[in-house]
Amino acid sequence: MDIKTTLPITEVRKKLFNIVDEVEKRRTRFIVTEKGRPKAVIMSAEEFESMRETLDVLIENPDLPKIIEETEEDFKTGKYKKYPTLEEVLEEDGYLVKDKSNKKYEVRNKSKG
């Protein structure tokens, strides 16, 4: 635990508004202790939401850390593979529907006359 960001709950109670300002502006995290034991963490809502989203992605894609590690290793060694594009991944997961028609779309101006 970092001494600078570890505070007893009594001090947090006294300085709550200042702590919240620092959390929001400087992205500092505080560990709140009671009788010397960690009890809670104070962090910005934005950082908390980001962490939740990251955890959700990791839970939904358990192989992702392995894939990232392999990709980084391939990049370091110069061994490149054909990786799918974002559109291909989203389409595979059912988020995009590819327009497979040969229709061409154009904008026409209709003038009254």
At 48-88, the pLDDT tens digits run: 999 999 999 888 888 888 988 988 888 888 777 677 788 88
Burial 88-110 (b: 16+ CB within 10 A, else e): eeeeeeeeeeeeeeeeeeeeeee
pLDDT interval class at 108 (50, 70, 90): low
Instruction: Name residue, tokens 């028609």.
Output: 101
Question: What confidence score (pLDDT) does residue 97 get?
Answer: 65
Question: What confidence score (pLDDT) does residue 1 get?
Answer: 64
Q: Which domains does the chain have, with CATH numbers?
A: 1-60 (3.40.1620.10), 62-96 (no CATH)
Question: What confidence score (pLDDT) does residue 58 get?
Answer: 87
Question: What confidence score (pLDDT) does residue 107 get?
Answer: 65
Whether residue 102 is predicted with pLDDT greater than 80 in this model: the reply is: no
Number of Cα atoms under 13 Å in the Cβ half of residue 81 = 10
Edge-to-edge strand list for the sheet holding 6-8: 6-8, 30-34, 37-42
State what percent of residues in the chain have pLDDT above 70.
Answer: 80
Q: Is the pTM of this model over 0.85?
A: no
For residues 16, 18, 23, 29, the Cα torsion angle rounded to the nearest 10 degrees is -60
